[in-house]
Structure 1
C-alpha cells in the first residue's frame, strides 16, 4: 500500500459523486476530502479481514475489489463503490474479507478522523433516510423466450463454467450438474454489434441473464464519476463472463448500462425459464407429500389433480416427545398427517391406540366445527407432520362434504370457498367521488406509486390517496399484484391495518383512497427522534405488527414487505401496517420472489416456495433493526445480503444490547426452516406473546388500542403533513399507458 498525491479539490469532487456521501451538506465535503488519504494496493493484497475491528472506510477510485465471506467470493466492487462503512457509522467488526481483485486505488477515511469532524451523526441520519425500495417478481409474459440454439461441446462447456463461476448465482440456487445442464439446454444465442448497449441502466425490461461467448462489454453507471473519468467504466466483461443474475430472481430496473466494446456473441435465458427450473425441486417435495396424502382414506373422493394441489399446499410442523398435538374437547380446525414418528391417541384419559408414519387424525375438522374427540400426544423423540386447516382446504379444493357427494369419478363442479370483503365493508363504497378530492400535499413515494394528502371538499375529511401509474404497472408486469392489493385491502378490518375507503380508475392512473395516519412513517420517526435501540418503543411497535399479522393470517393473507417504512403512526402514536402492494391471499405456498432485500427470507431467495412463515422472518428482522439501528444482514448490494442470509442468523454477531431475550426472539423468528419459526409452531402467535422479552407487556390493552404509546407525534390538525418529508424528485416513474385491451383494470373502481 502506498500514498498518492491527488489534490483535496480532486478528492472532494470524487467523494461528492459517491452514493454514501451524496446527501451530506455540501459545506461538509471540503473537510471530509482533507481527511481522505489516497492509497493503492496490488492485486491479491488483503485490505480488510473478516471478523476484525472496523476502523476505516474505503472508496474505490480505480480497479476492483473482491468481497469474500468464509473464503467464498460473494461480490466484486468497482470504481465508485465503497466498503467498510460500518467503521464510520457503527463500531462493529468487519463482516467480510476485502481483497484487491486488480491493482487498485482508493480513498481511505478513518473512523477517528470522521468522528473528529462530527460527521458520524450527520451521515448516520442521512444514510438511514435513503429509501429501501421493494422489488417484485412481476410477470414475464412480455419477455420473448426464443427457441434454444444448438451448441457445440465447447460452447456447452463455456456456458457451464460461466454459470458455476458466478458467485451470485450460487447464492440463489444450488447449481449441481443436472441444473447447469438444464440451464444450458434452454439458452439461445444472440449477436451484439460493437457500441450496442445490451442492458441500459434503469431499463424496466429486465428479464434476461447473459453469458458472454466472445467479444467484450463495458459496465458503466450514471452518477458515478471520478476526477479522472467523466463517464467511468465500472468493469469489463469478456468471454466466459456472465451478468444479469438479479433478473432471474425478480423484477427490478437494471442497475447499470452494459455496452459491447467489440462485436460479441452471448447466450441468453429468461427469468421464467430459470424459475421453472427451480420449481422442479418443489415438484419433488410435492410428489413426496402426495404419496402420504394418497394413503389417507378420507381423501379418496379427491381426483388426482386435487390431491396434488392439496399436497403442494400442506404445511410442515414438528413436535417433540410429550408434546400434545391437540387435546380432547378443544375446537378442531386442522387435519394432521403423520410423516415421521409415533403418537398416542388418548380418550377420556386412556390410551386407545397408537399411530405411526402415514397415520392421520383430525379429519373431522375438515367437515364440521366440532370439539376434538381425543387427545393426540407424541410418544417418539420427535414427530413431523403435514397439516392443513379447513378454510385453506375449502379455498383450494372445496368442501370435503361436497367432494364426498361428487366422488372421485363424478363430473359435477365443487364450489370453492371465496375469500370475501369484511362484513359490512361493501356498503360504505361509492360515497366518495374522485372529482371532490383536492390534493393538499405529498406524503410519500414507493417503488410503484406515490401517496398524497387529499381533502374531500364535500365534508372536509382528509385521506391518503395512493396513485399507481398504469403504464408502470403494465410494463413491470404487476397487474395481478395491483388487483390483489385492492382485494386484500377490502378484506382487512383491523385497527392495526390502514383502512381502504374507495378505489378510482382514471385514464393513466389507478387510485386507492386510504385511512390517513399523520404521525408519519416509523422509519423517518426513528431517525428524527433517535428512537433506535429504545426497547419500550420497539416492543410497542413489534406488538402492533404481531396483531396486524394475526389479522392478515386469519384471512390467509401473506404480507411479504414488512419494514419500518411500511409502518405508520396515527396522531396518538398507535402503529398501523400499510402498503398491501405485495400482499396476496395464500392458503398454501406461493413462488413469486418479492419484498425488500434486507428482509428477504432464505426460502424467498432460493425460490423454494414460501408461505405465511415469511412474515414471521421479517418480524425478526424488524425486531433486530429497531433494537440495533440496522438490519442484521445489511450489506452494500442485494447479492451480499442474500449470501449472508443463506449462512443464517446464527452467523450474525449480535450487539451487546441485543443479548438475552431479544436475541432469543430474533433467532426464534428467523429460523432457517420456515416451520420452526416461533409463530408457525404449535401455539402460534402465543409463542411470541409469551416470550420473556414481553414479560409484563399488556397485550389486552394493546389489542384494544388503550395502551399508551411510548411516543406521541406532534400533529397540529388533520391537514398537517409536517411529519412527512417526501419530495417530488422521489416520485416513481410515470410510464405512458398503452391499454393492452385485456380488461385487467375494469373492476378496479368502487366509485367514480
Structure 2
C-alpha cells in the first residue's frame, strides 16, 4: 500500500504542472511543424550547392559510410559539418534506402534541438550532406571526461531530448538511434540530435532490427513490430547512462546484452534520487502498455513527472534557461571539443559511380 502511494506521489504533477490546455496549444504548434515537414517530404529537393563552394578544414569524425569534415562556405564565411557518404560503401552495406530517407528527413527538419540539412549535392563518388557545425562536440565525450553528470545536468539534457522526440513523433518519425554519441552540444550548451540514418517515417508499425545494442527496446529485439514506443525506452536508457556513467544493460557480447534487455532486470545506483529511480522505472518498462510516453496522456506523463518539476518547458524551448555547461568557443571554426583525426584520403572517379542507384537523391 505504502509503495503504491509513493509511486502515485512521485509521478503526479507539481501543483499546476504542464496543463492539458498548454499541451493542446503546443500540439497545435507541432501540427504546423508536421505540415511543414510533409510539404518538404513530398517535394524533391534539388542539389543546391557544389563542392567548389566550400573550403575543407579538418576531420570531425569518421563512420561506416564515410567522413564528417569541418568546412567553410566560401561566399558566406560560415562553418558547416560536411558529411561525405561514399556511394560504394552505402551500396555494399545495403543502406541506399536508409541514406535516401536520412537525406529527405534532414531536409525537412525544423526544430531547435535537431540538426538539419543546409545544402545537399553529390558527385561521382560521394553524397554530401551539409549540416550546421555544432562546436561543443558530442555529449559522449563530455560524459566520458566527467564520468557521469549530476542530476541537474541530466534533467536539463533529458528534457530537451523529450521535446526533440515529441517533435519527431509529431512528424510521424521514429528516431531509433538515441545515444550520447548522437547528441551534440551547441555553443549555448543546449543539445542537437544528429545522425538520422535510422530515422524513419512510419504510420503504424515497423519491424527493422536497427540501433545500438545497449539502447534497443525489447520489442525491437523480439521482432514484435513496433512504433514510437522504442524512443521512450531509449530515453530511459539515456537518463540512466547520463546519471550513472554507464548504461543499465551492458556486456561485451551483443547477444548477452539482448538477453539482459529482454529480461528487463538492471541495478539502480544508490546515488540516484527517488524521483529519478521512479522515472527510469516507468520508461525502462518492458510492457509498452505501461511505458511512460506511450500511454493515454502521451508526453504529459513525462513533462509532469516529479523529477522534471523544476523545468519550465516553454523557457527551455526558447533557450531561456542557463545551461549547466557552456563550451568555451574561441572562434567560429573552433574544433577544441572534437577528437583529432588523420586527414582522410578523398577518393575520385572519372565516371559517376552507381548513378542509377542514387538517381532519386
The TM tier, using the shorter chain, reads 0.7 to 0.9
Q: Say yes or no: does 1:693 pair with 2:312.
A: no
Give 3-state SS (helix, strand or coil) of 1:520's partner: coil
TM-fit CA distance, 1:598: 0.9
What are the ranges of 5 or more consecutive residues in structure 2 without an aligned counterpart?
1-19
State whether residues 497 and 577 of structure 1, in contact with CA within 8 Å, keep that contact through their aligned partners in structure 2: yes
Is this contact kept in 1: 2:47–2:121, CA < 8 A? no
Is residue 450–residue 732 contact of structure 1 (8 Å, CA) maintained in 2? no
Who is 1:744 aligned against? 357
Distance 1:496 1:424, change over 3 A: farther
TM-superposed CA distance for 1:619, in Å, is 0.4
1:302 is matched with which residue? none
Pairs within 5 Å for 1:701-712: 701-712=315-326
Describe the SS at the equivalent of 2:135: coil
Whether the aligned pair in 2 keeps the contact of 1:445 and 1:726 (CA below 8 Å) is no
| Contact 2:48–2:121 under 8 Å retained in 1 | no
1:441 aligns with 2:55: no
The alignment status of 1:573 with 2:189, answered yes or no, reads yes
How far the C-alpha of 1:633 sits from its partner, in A, is 0.3
CA distance in structure 2 between the aligned counterparts of 1:732 and 1:591, rounded to whole angstroms: 37
Residue-by-residue CA offset, 1:191-243 (whole Å, 9 max, x unaligned): xxxxxxxxxxxxxxxxxxxxxxxxxxxxxxxxxxxxxxxxxxxxxxxxxxxxx
Q: Secondary structure at the match of 1:713?
A: coil
Q: Give the number of aligned pairs.
A: 331
Partner of 1:476: 93
Which structure 1 segments of 5+ residues have no match?
1-326, 332-368, 370-389, 396-417
Say yes or no: does 1:452 pair with 2:69: yes
Structure 2 residue corresponding to 1:725, chosen from 333, 339, 345: 339
Structure 1 or 2: larger helix share?
Answer: 2
Whose strand fraction is larger, Structure 1's or Structure 2's?
Answer: 1
- Contact 1:601-1:617 within 8 A present in 2 as well: yes
1:338-394 CA-to-partner distances (Å, cap 9, x unmatched) read xxxxxxxxxxxxxxxxxxxxxxxxxxxxxxx9xxxxxxxxxxxxxxxxxxxx9xxxx
Q: Distance in 2 between matches of 1:458 and 1:727?
A: 27
Q: Which has the larger radius of gyration?
A: 1
TM-score (norm 2): 0.84
Encode CA deviations 1:257-290: one digit per residue, 9 max, x unaligned: xxxxxxxxxxxxxxxxxxxxxxxxxxxxxxxxxx
Q: TM-score, normalised by structure 1?
A: 0.42
User: Are 1:439 and 1:454, in contact at CA under 8 Å, matched by a contact in 2?
Assistant: yes
Answer whether contact 2:124 2:352 (CA < 8 A) is retained. Answer: no
Q: How well do the aligned residues superpose, as a CA RMSD in angstroms?
A: 3.0
Q: Deviations over 1:703-727 (max 9, x none)?
A: 1111111100111111111110042
Deviation at 1:617, TM superposition (A): 0.7
Name the CA shift for 1:700/1:720 in 2 (closer, same or farther; >3 Å): same
C-alpha distance in 2 between matches for 1:433 and 1:443? 20
Distance 1:566 1:550 in 2: 17
Work out which of the residue numbers 296, 299, 302 in structure 2 matches 1:682: 296
Aligned with 1:635 (options 245, 251, 255)? 251
Q: Which residue of 2 aligns with 1:548?
A: 164
Post-superposition Cα deviations, 1:63-97, rounded to whole Å, max 9, x if no partner, equal xxxxxxxxxxxxxxxxxxxxxxxxxxxxxxxxxxx
SS of the counterpart of 2:118?
Answer: strand
